[in-house]
Amino acid sequence: MKTKKDGFGVLLTQTLTLTLLVVTLTLSLTLTLLLSLSHGGERKPIKPSAKDKCPVCGMFAAKYPDFLAQILFKDGSYAVFDGTKDMFKYYFNLKKYNPKKRLEDIDSVYVTDYYNLALIDGYQAFYVTGSDVFGPMGKELIPLEKEADAKEFMKDHKGKFLFKFKGVTMEVVKQLD
């Protein structure tokens, strides 16, 4: 009887240890995935040169620092834009504008916060459409770092819709043209 009880105890201990190991690994992998999706890559924003043109419209991006957006690739290359709308057009049509690149090649996305004019993580930004604020190419997605600022902007500038990066679609962008 003592042997069966000891064998059962060992079996129970091994089962609990294995369960704890599986739960720990699952939580670790989930946390790693969430952290990797929660921010941009390692590259810092760049300062565009006077010669850097928006690949979508051809305008010189450095002339519009208040609306500057950029996509930085893992290989060190980049694309700069005179506004967020053109950045999204490029992002959604990467094969058209940069056939050698894929979305997986993107390291970081930066957009200019409307209120503090700093480059912020484009993946984490809030985007307002339908406002009375126009960018260099007309109607624009206005980026803001904080949700509270985005809601205040919507009140102050008659904004109609609020999006996170993944909520912006090509249809949303087309409505701005």
Residue 19, pLDDT score: 53
Report the amino acid identity of residue 18. L
How does the average pLDDT of the chain come out, rounded?
Answer: 85
Buried b (16+ CB within 10 A) or exposed e, 79-96: bbbbbbbbbbbbbbebee
Q: Which of 24-38, 101-115, 119-133, 152-166 has the lowest mean pLDDT?
A: 24-38
SS3 60: strand
| pTM for this prediction | 0.76
- β-pairing, 78-81 vs 69-73, is antiparallel
**Which of 130, 135, 173 lies closest to 150, judged by CA?**
130
107 touches 89 (CB < 8 A): no
Residue 150 lies in a domain: yes
Is 78 domain-assigned?
Answer: yes
Residue 49 lies in a domain: no
Q: Which amino acid is it at 173?
A: V
Is 19 domain-assigned?
A: no
The proportion of the chain whose per-residue pLDDT surpasses 90, expressed as a percent, equals: 75
- Averaged pLDDT for residues 50-60: 96
Residues, the chain: 177
Inside any domain, residue 143: yes
Domain count for the chain: 1
What is the spatial distance between Cα 119 and Cα 122, in angstroms, rounded to a whole number? 8
Please name the residue that has the structure tokens 């060190």.
76
Report whether 176 contacts 85 (CB < 8 A). yes
**What value does the mean pLDDT take over residues 107-122?**
97
Containing structural domain, residue 110 = 61-174
The reply to whether 34 falls in a domain is no
Q: Has residue 77 been placed in a domain?
A: yes
* Range of lowest pLDDT (13-17, 23-27, 57-61, 92-96): 23-27
Q: Which two tokens stand for residue 122?
A: 């484009």
11 assigned to some structural domain: no
